[in-house]
Amino acid sequence: MSSVLVERLEPELARASSNFQVVRIMHSGEATLFASGRYLDRIRIDGSGTRFEERIAVLDSRAVDTLLAIPI
C-alpha cells in the first residue's frame, strides 16, 4: 500500500485514497502481479472513535484470476 491522502470533508467525515499492489508468490518462489489499483475510503470521526464507513477497491485491470476466492 502507498502513502494515504486524507481530506477532511466535514468535522466528522473524511475521505482517503491510497494505491495498492498485490503480488502472488508461488511455492516455487515465482512472484506474479495479482492485482493493482486504489482504495477510496470514507471515514467517520466522532465521539465513539474513528471507523471506516465505506471502502471501495478500484482495480486497474479486469484480468484477475477469478478462480481464486481471495478478498482484496
pLDDT in tens, 29-46: 999 888 899 999 999 999
Grid cell listed for 38? 486504489
* Section 11-22 average pLDDT: 95
Residue 70 binned pLDDT confidence (cut-offs 50, 70, 90): low
With a pLDDT cut of 90, the percent of the chain lying above it is: 61
Other Cβ atoms less than 10 A from the Cβ of 5: the count is 10
For the whole model, what pTM was predicted?
Answer: 0.74
Q: Is the pLDDT of residue 71 over 70?
A: no
Determine the residue type at 69: A
**Secondary structure in 3-state letters for 16-64:** EEEEEEEEEECCCCCEEEEEEEEEEEEEEEECCEEEEEEEEEEECCCCC
